[in-house]
Amino acid sequence: MRGKSPKDMMQAVTASMQERTGKTLEEWVTLVQSSGLDALDQGAVRRWLKTTHGVLQNSQWAIADAAARAAGWTAPTIDEYVSQQYDGAKAALRPVYERLHALLTALGPDVVVEGRATYIPFVRARQFAAVAAATKSRVDVGLRYTKAPRSTLLVESAAPGQATHKLSLQAVSDITAGVEQLLRAAYEQNG
């Protein structure tokens, strides 16, 4: 069974906003608009919500997102997120991402690809993999395991995404049968 999508989670946070913060989402957006902050700078809005109003993280994200959308911002598509991450000095890593994308989405029809500013998560019942252009010469693959396979390719890590382990790749040729087995294990442990 699939977990909540980001949209579902945002709706749940929004529905309980007044109970948790004392204000509705619309009231928070109005407050942000009258604060003098740039509503498009979601990081600044989240910091202000935390330091000035003591708003907790999930509510910060929901309010900052709503305020930015009210100011005309639209969330990038997954393709736009990927293009932003594999641009400029990191453009040469795009084939590594594309091969990983093909392998991860082929693991099953229940794989959902989502977009984030710094990594691309792959989700089943929960996030099982996250691919990030870590440097101009390396792609990191965060993998979430309940029981990690033994592999010299894996190192314990809390990132990218919801990883328990990661592996680092520099070229498509680094994506070996062993890497494919690690991807499949993460998929199978998060269904």
- If DSSP states are collapsed to H, E and C, what string results for 60-75? HHHHHHHHHHHCCCCC
Of residues 133, 134, 125, the one with CA closest to residue 186: 125
Residue 4 pLDDT level (bands cut at 50, 70, 90): low
Question: Which of 4-13, 52-61, 180-189 is the most confident on average?
Answer: 180-189
Structure token pair of residue 137: 């010469």
Burial (0-12, 13-18, 19+ Cβ within 10 Å), 43: exposed
Q: What is the pLDDT of residue 1?
A: 41
pLDDT single digits (tens) 146-179:
999 999 999 999 989 899 999 999 999 999 999 9
- Asked whether the beta carbons of 143 and 121 are under 8 A apart, the reply is no
Of residues 120, 114, 124, 172, the one with CA closest to residue 141: 120
Question: What number is the average pLDDT over the span 20-45?
Answer: 94
Bridging pattern class, strands 165-169 and 155-156: antiparallel
Q: DSSP for 135-156, please give it.
A: ETTEEEEEE--SSPPP-TT-EE
Half-sphere exposure of residue 26, counting CA atoms within 13 Å on the CB side? 0
Of residues 165, 172, 168, 173, the one with CA closest to residue 189: 165
> For the chain, which residues make up each domain, given as ranges?
6-70, 78-189
Q: Give the separation between CA 134 and CA 138, rounded to whole angstroms.
A: 6
Q: In what order do the strands lie in the sheet with 138-143?
A: 112-113, 120-123, 127-135, 138-143, 165-169, 155-156
Q: What is the pLDDT of residue 191?
A: 87
